Amino acid sequence: MRRLVPVTVVFAFVILLWYLGSTVFVDEGLRFLLPTPDAVVRTAFLDQANLQELLAGLGLSARVALTGLVIATVIGLGWAILMSQARWLEDSLYPYAVMLQTVPILALVPLFGYWFGFGLPSRVLTCVLIALFPIVANTLFGLRSVDPALRDLFALHGADRWTRLLKLQLPAALPSILTGLRISAGAAVIGAVVGDFFFQQGQEGIGQLIYVYPRRLQSEMLFGAVILASLFGLAVFWIFGLVARIATAWHESQLHFQPPGGTK
């Protein structure tokens, strides 16, 4: 309750500000630019036809985001593991990982459309590029941060490279890997929305709906689509955070964790 009450109070305050903004500070003739919260709920979420349209768009974007996240995870883990095996490999490959992070994705999106079409593959590729770097960076950091004493112990017992990787480095890097996955999960949702927004072909994702609704002056539906996409991103981030807490319950960061208002 001590964690839930502050969140609820802030949420109520935001809704109050929203309602005051749309009824007091916006002229009645311009109220379509900022509809009231109850109008958004009635139009976007209580109308079955509109809700089904939003959920169908969200379903497609979720499929794109999760597909891109899986591909980015496989590539990112392999990339980081390869770089961790030798310093010259890291020096050779890591700058390209940084390049993927610094290149403006919006500048590459039109090229993806020309090369791979304006359908599902280009949207998935956008998610992969956005979600890839956090996995690579956090995994490499975890693999490089193994306790030197444990490294010496494995070397003393004659453990080979793969034994050290599977039984020492990967378990020790698991918290960092899951942190990277949690960041990339949220980034993949953003990538799916960006891909939908620019690739205006095929089944409509939530990003396409966000693009279309302002042109139809459907402000209630626009707010509903933005809220639904934000809630999906929040849910994905929370789920991966919960998985990380469970999977790393043995780690010292969790063993010394003190919950608010109580003892472990």
Segment 217-244 shows an average pLDDT of 87
pLDDT tens per residue across span 140-150 = 998 888 877 88
Domain boundaries, the chain: 41-248
pLDDT at 27 over 60: yes
* Whole-number pLDDT of residue 260: 46
Q: Which of 10-14, 88-92, 108-112 has the lowest mean pLDDT?
A: 108-112
* Whole-number pLDDT of residue 257: 46
Structure tokens, 123: 């949207």
Q: Are 106 and 194 in contact (CB under 8 A)?
A: yes
pLDDT at 153 over 90: no
| b/e per residue 130-159 (b: at least 16 CB within 10 A) | bbbbbbbbbbbbbbeebeeeeeeebeeeeb
pLDDT at 9 over 60: yes
* Whole-number pLDDT of residue 79: 92
- The model's pTM is 0.81
Query: What residue type is 118 in one-letter code?
Result: F
* Whole-number pLDDT of residue 109: 77
Q: Are 109 and 194 in contact (CB under 8 A)?
A: yes
Q: Fold for domain 41-248?
A: MetI-like fold (1.10.3720)
Segment 15-43 shows an average pLDDT of 81
Containing H/E element for 180?
A: helix 170-198
Q: Residue 29 — pLDDT band, cuts 50, 70, 90?
A: low
Segment 246-258 shows an average pLDDT of 60
Q: Residue 251 — pLDDT band, cuts 50, 70, 90?
A: low
Sort residue 166 into left (φ over 0), alpha (ψ -120 to 50) or beta.
Answer: alpha
pLDDT at 170 over 90: no
What is the average pLDDT score of the chain? 83
- Chain centre distance of CA 152: 37
Structure tokens, 22: 């749309």
